[in-house]
Amino acid sequence: MEQSFKHGIFKEELKNRFLCQVEVDTKDTLCYIPSSCRLSNFIDLTGREVLVSPVLSPNARTSYSVYALSGCQGFILLNMSKANEAVAGSIKNRRFSFLGKRTHIRREYKVSGYKSDLYIEDTNTVVEIKSILSFSNSREAQFPSVYSQRAIDQLMKLNRLLEEGYRVGYIFVSLNPKIKQLALNEEIREYRDAFNCCTDKGMMVKGVSLKLIDGEPVIYSSLPVII
């Protein structure tokens, strides 16, 4: 691992979903969690070994940011923004050739009022990236793992973009490299119905997994997505 990382023991997630306590250098330390949802929705991190990285901004509330969780086969990325960076850095590789020509790419670009994770100008393609954090003993991970009105609203907006003539690519990213297959959560009907409505109108779907190598997330493998 790079020298900038430190090992810590996760103590607790605070009421503010972006903050937690981690024991770093034997001291309880306030740390930032770069996740749009509470990690406790997916796993109990109490007492688990984590990697933290320094927060470089001088005005930041915390000195460290939670980066990865120790697993049985190395560390698993917890920083979901890094997952988007990994996809963006690999988007021109053959693995994503289904998206077509990919010469001019913008990140976090607004398209008809929708903030896309990536926008491919060559083909007017909006790309939405969804990270999946699963620690199930099963080799399959489901999305969403919990009800998410935000994810449903996003699909409704993507449906509108499809109707306006834009192309849409929806990329699932498993942060756990042990996952071998992805599937929609059939119990969350609103999400499933909105998703299927988009695929019926041509939305392209891809599943991949990430693996941390020398502290950096890289695209590890392609995964089948059961729709």
Spatial distance between the Cα atoms of 7 and 158, rounded to a whole number of angstroms: 40
In the chain, the domains with their CATH numbers are 6-77 (2.40.50.580), 80-226 (3.40.1350.60)
Mean pLDDT in residue range 207-217: 92
pLDDT in tens, 23-44: 999 999 999 988 767 788 778 8
* pTM (two decimals): 0.89
- Average of per-residue pLDDT across 59-77: 87
User: What is the three-class DSSP state of 143?
Assistant: strand
Residue 138 to residue 114: CA distance in whole angstroms: 35
Which one-letter amino acid corresponds to residue 203? M
Helix axes 189-200, 149-163, angle to 10 degrees: 20
- Please return the burial class of 224, using the count of CB atoms within 10 Å of its CB with bins 0-12, 13-18 and 19+: exposed
- Contact between 124 and 118 under an 8 Å Cβ cutoff? The reply is no
pLDDT of residue 2: 47
